[in-house]
Amino acid sequence: MWRDHLTEIIIFTLLFLLVSAMGFVAARWRAPRDMAHLDEWGLGGRNFGGWITWFLVGGDLYTAYTFVAVPALVFGAGAMGFFAVPYTIVIYPLVFLVLCRLWSVSHRHGFVTPADFVRSRFDSPVLALLVAITGIVATMPYIALQLVGIEAVLKAMGVTGDNAVARHLPIIIAFAILAAYTYQSGLRAPALIAFVKDTLIYIVILVAVLYLPYKLGGWGEIFDAADAKFDASPSPGDGVLLNANNQLQYVTLAFGSALALFLYPHSITGVLASRNRDVIKRNMSALPAYSLLLGLIALLGYMAIAADVKPLPGASEGTVDNNTIVPLLFDQQFPSWFTGVAYAAIGIGALVPAAIMSIAAANLFTRNIYKEYLRRDATPAQEANVSKITSLVVKIGAVACIVFLDPQFSIDLQLIGGVIILQTLPAVALGLYTRWFHRGALIAGWVAGMGLGMWMLYQISSPTRKHFAGSAFPLEKFGFDTPKTIYVGIVAVLVNLLVAAILTLILRAVKVREGVDGTTSDDYFADEGDPRVTPGDRQDADAAPEPVA
């Protein structure tokens, strides 16, 4: 009952109201020139320095879902759950190599979204539309998963109802407040709140990893308890160590997730809001500190096993909700006041990325669908207004996913989202280094990769679902005599690249027009203070584009 958790509820509510107030105040933070402009509302004026960017990008990539789902996976499967640690290490060199160039060309041309860049680079509104739609579709379930984190906390506090409306009412209220201050303050709101969110998470996790092993008898006892549990598991892939059954899945999932993460629109939005290239470079050097924290968070799964935590029942009859194990662990092992702080850290941890994700999805719709196809003469103020309204619609859609879909399916949708967003890698990431691929071939590659990816995902089943039950594809379905699985996203993007490469050679051989590159080589190294480019500054459309290495 919620009365047994009154202290936690009070502390959670007070801290939630504090950050909500900060969200509304953020509209006046750092003296925006004009909030009726996407540069200000959607990118914070493109003027965030090192500390703000560190908290913003860190708060964007390490979410409430990370806080509850990574330990839940470790709790349920063991070492496989640690795939999140190497992939959040691999991502930073990739961001260093790729997104610095994207920042420069976006600074020079005023691009707000990755689809803006693709439109100019390959002279293809169709390819840009595919990138925009892909980003929006992949982001929606990611936003919904932030609600899964809040829902796990509410369950642990006993804040549940007898029907769907009563059960989800606190989440609906929380996201209504989030929608209100995001509408008013734009990207400045999550940037300011990220300071509080990350501070709370660091305090909670550091206290937990120092105190819980002492209380539970030491790390030896914790790992022995986990080992005993997995020895009794019927799944051959479960265990405190990887084995022959899950190593391929682990490697491909970690690498594929790293490639996907920096392609998500919200990751790019946080980077484009930076003041200059040096801010991005310094942050890519410092952000791995969050990966150290993530490793400690993952260990909470083993601690929950040692503490004999029993997850609460799931939405479907006969199932359990492993996402509740971290909230329950804190509830059982810490005093009420500290548990309330931990719950607030998870709840606030949902607000920061959810706000950034909704802004990124709204910017994609506004710039690459509304302005490109519905109103080409839209003013900056009209763009900003459409983006604000779209961000509200996106949040409503995320809440609907939680209300009407099984939470476990929402988690699987996020894995599907990673497969989807990976299909933009050739156009966005490789397009920053080369224009060798033909625009028609990139479209065909996207279709091939997306089609194969969806077919593979459809073939994946589980005891509770016949289709779309994760992203681990059994190799035996390809005719291999092995029980191993592989991450769908890696296979799909390799096919995407293969099709794009072969068709590029064919289209060049028959001399199909490639369009004009709207960028030049020096655009990819522009920095703060370099002049912006207007369409009139560019060469004629019939002139040969300057090659970019």
3 state DSSP class of 473: strand
Contact 303, 74 (CB under 8 A): no
b/e map 263-298, b = 16+ CB within 10 Å: bbbbbbbbbbbbbbbebbebbbebbeebbebbbebb
3 state DSSP class of 474: strand
- What pLDDT is stored for residue 540 in this prediction? 40
Q: What is the dihedral of CA 376, 361, 131, 447, to 10 degrees?
A: -120
- What pLDDT is stored for residue 508 in this prediction? 93
- What pLDDT is stored for residue 53 in this prediction? 87
Alpha helical stretches, state H, 38-185: 38-41, 50-61, 64-77, 84-109, 114-122, 125-156, 164-185
For residue 306, count other CB atoms closer than 10 A to its CB: 23
Please, is 207 exposed, middle or buried when counting C-beta atoms within 10 Å of its C-beta (0-12, 13-18, 19+)? middle
| Residue 520 to residue 3: CA distance in whole angstroms | 64
- What pLDDT is stored for residue 363 in this prediction? 94
Q: DSSP letters of 200-212?
A: HHHHHHHHHHHHH
- Residue 405: φ, ψ to 5°: -110, 155
Q: What is the pLDDT along the chain (549 residues), one digit of tens a residue?
A: 567 788 998 999 899 888 888 888 887 776 666 778 888 888 888 888 888 888 888 877 777 777 888 898 899 889 998 988 898 888 888 778 888 999 999 999 999 999 999 999 999 999 999 999 999 999 887 887 787 778 888 888 887 666 666 667 777 888 888 888 888 888 888 888 888 888 888 899 999 999 999 999 999 999 999 999 999 888 877 889 988 888 999 999 999 988 998 899 998 998 999 998 999 888 888 888 888 888 889 999 999 999 999 988 776 666 777 888 999 999 999 999 999 999 998 888 888 888 899 999 999 999 999 999 998 898 989 999 999 999 999 888 878 777 776 666 656 667 788 999 999 999 999 999 999 999 999 999 999 999 999 999 999 887 777 888 888 899 888 888 888 899 999 999 999 999 999 999 999 999 999 889 999 999 999 887 777 765 545 444 334 444 443
| Residue 127 to residue 439: CA distance in whole angstroms | 7
The per-residue pLDDT for range 414-429, each reduced to its tens digit, is: 778 899 999 999 999 9
- What pLDDT is stored for residue 50 in this prediction? 84
- What's the distance, CA 22 to chain centroid? 23
| Residue 368 to residue 437: CA distance in whole angstroms | 21
Q: What is the pTM of this model?
A: 0.90
Residue 323 to residues 41, 314, 399, 500: CA-CA distances in angstroms? Answer: 34, 9, 18, 40
Contacts of 180 (CB under 8 A, 6+ apart): 24
The per-residue pLDDT for range 116-144, each reduced to its tens digit, is: 999 999 999 999 999 999 999 998 878 87
| Residue 465 to residue 410: CA distance in whole angstroms | 13
| Residue 337 to residue 10: CA distance in whole angstroms | 9
Tokens coding 166: 């009563």
- What pLDDT is stored for residue 411 in this prediction? 61
Residue 483 to residues 306, 455, 475, 486: CA-CA distances in angstroms? Answer: 30, 19, 7, 10
β pairing state of 320-321 and 472-474: unpaired
